[in-house]
Chains A and B, each alone.
Chain A
Amino acid sequence: MLSVTHLTKRYGEVVAVDDLTFALEPGSITALLGPNGAGKTTTLRLLLGLAEPTEGTATVFGRPYRELEAPCRRVGAVLESGDFDPGRSGRNHLRALALAAGIGFDRVEDVLALVDLDAAADRRVRTYSLGMRQRLGLAGALLGDPELLVLDEPANGLDPAGVHWLRGFLRQFADAGGTVLICSHVLAEVAQTVDSVLILSAGRLVAERRIDELSDLEALYLELTTAPVA
């Protein structure tokens, strides 16, 4: 499904990701946690073929992302909420992606309705709130009806109703057999949403726990990410 083996990324002297190894179970929601600069986003970029590892491998469905045929039919990803041309409408943003993926425009309308953006779809993205951009990103990730979702801070900017909706959506997605990997800072939200957590600190995996075995996620997180790593 998704597997990372001895994954390492160095930028000169800086080690952004350090010998990371983990795998995801199908049908589960996993959160990648860690302070700013812990290597979460770099790990996602390596998984999605946007950056090349210095050492080790990152594979999805058994292959490096860049070797997948029609990857968006298997993996849906949102890296940042700002990945749009501000002068293009939400609908045209999705249509450009759909054309490249060989997906029909009726599917664009489906995902717009799913994330409740149909009324704003013809407005330029520069007029969108952060929450609307998040939902547009999610709509793009869902275009190909993927089995795996990779989301960087998906709740960022969503209002409480939006967060509630996202939680329900991800649970439903996983219950239907889908797999989800999210990066987040919001521990309370994570504790309510995910099945297991991976905690990164300075590029290394310092904990891998099932959420139902944890009594206090915040205490564990603070202990592991603020204490010096041996």
Chain B
Amino acid sequence: MTAQLRSELLKQRTTRTNLVLLAWMVALVLLVLALHVLSFGSDDLARASNQMKILGLGTSIGALFAALLGALSITGELRTGTIRPTFLVTPRRSRVVAAKVVAGMLAGVGVGLLAEALTAGAEAAGLAARGIDIELGAGDYAQLLAGGALAAALFAAIGVGVGALVRNQVATVAGLCVWLLFVEPLLLGDVPAAAKYAPEASAGAIAGAIQSQIADALVAPALGVLLLVAYAALAAVGGAVVINRRDVE
């Protein structure tokens, strides 16, 4: 298991895929933050609850890119055929999936921290530029960074699991994007009582920040952790079972 984990960690850093992914994430955070901080009215921006909501963008974007990173680590191998030499060396396939989950979670911590720190920094810079005071405290930022890192790590595990279940790279990436960018925000708007238990809302609860109308109705952070751990475990175990059973093309 440690041997396979070391192999997966080497794979992560020996193609440009993850660097390109991070570059896109940085660009997206900066663009979205600039749009929000520059377009909102000063009165709105001065309120702590709105400052928190904007930070929620970092949570969502971090979760999305961590999930993509996890998903690409398995669908990339299925697409290029490198899964064959991988399974020839390690025919216990669940060991490979487990190593990808752990490697993805380690990278996810970095992705989450980067997304949240960048979001917080960009918001602070934007507010300062407009002469608006920051109403958030050290506790808010601490929860944002720690919670965002944990949520992104769990989303990386979800990504690996979904990738193993769906197998097709384009379908997996499209599915994750559609769910996180469209479906869940719609659910949060229309059926918040149920949607607060969904994965992205759980991530928002953990980090204390979500870009949505239900920001006040989120579950408690501890319940958010439990929910997201359950989703991650479900996806990873489901993915491992499917990868174990199906023939490799």
Contacts and interface: CB of A to CB of B under 8 A. Distances in A.
B86 A100 contact: yes
Interface stretch (A21-29, A43-51, A192-200): A43-51
Given A92-B10, A97-B89, A101-B89, A52 B3 contact: no
A89 interface: yes
B80 A84 contact: yes
A87 B15 contact: yes
Nearest to A92: B14
A83 B85 contact: yes
Given A45-B248, A100-B7, A101-B3, 18 more contacts: A50-B87, A52-B247, A79-B84, A80-B84, A82-B80, A83-B80, A84-B80, A84-B81, A85-B11, A85-B15, A85-B77, A86-B80, A92-B10, A95-B14, A96-B11, A97-B86, A100-B4, A101-B90
Interface in A185-215: none
A20 interface: no
28 contacts: A48-B88, A49-B88, A50-B84, A52-B247, A66-B91, A67-B91, A72-B89, A82-B80, A83-B82, A83-B84, A84-B80, A85-B11, A85-B77, A85-B82, A87-B16, A87-B17, A88-B14, A88-B15, A89-B14, A92-B10, A97-B7, A97-B89, A99-B6, A100-B3, A100-B7, A100-B89, A101-B89, A101-B90
A125 to B, nearest CB: 9
B126 interface: no
Most buried by B among A89, A92, A97: A97
Interface of B: 3-4, 6-7, 10-11, 14-17, 76-77, 80-82, 84-92, 247-248
Contacts of B89: 71-72, 97, 100-101
A93 B92 CA distance: 20
Given A82-B81, A87-B15, A96 B88 contact: no
Contacts of B87: 49-50
Nearest to A75: B88
Contacts of B91: 49, 65-68, 71
A101 B90 CA distance: 7
Most buried by B among A49, A77, A85, A95: A85
Interface in A67-126: 67-68, 71-72, 75, 77, 79-80, 82-89, 92-93, 95-97, 99-102
Contacts, number: 82
Nearest to B77: A85
Interface in A38-68: 45, 48-52, 65-68
Please classify how large the interface on chain A is, using the bins under 10, 10 to 19, 20 to 34, 35 or more: 20 to 34
A34 interface: no
A47 B248 CA distance: 13
Contacts of A79: 84
A140 interface: yes
B14 A96 contact: yes
B141 to A, nearest CB: 36
B81 A80 contact: yes
Contacts of A97: 7, 85-86, 89
B135 to A, nearest CB: 45
A100 B11 CA distance: 11
Contacts of B17: 87
A1 B7 CA distance: 29
A140 B3 contact: no
Contacts of B82: 83-85, 93
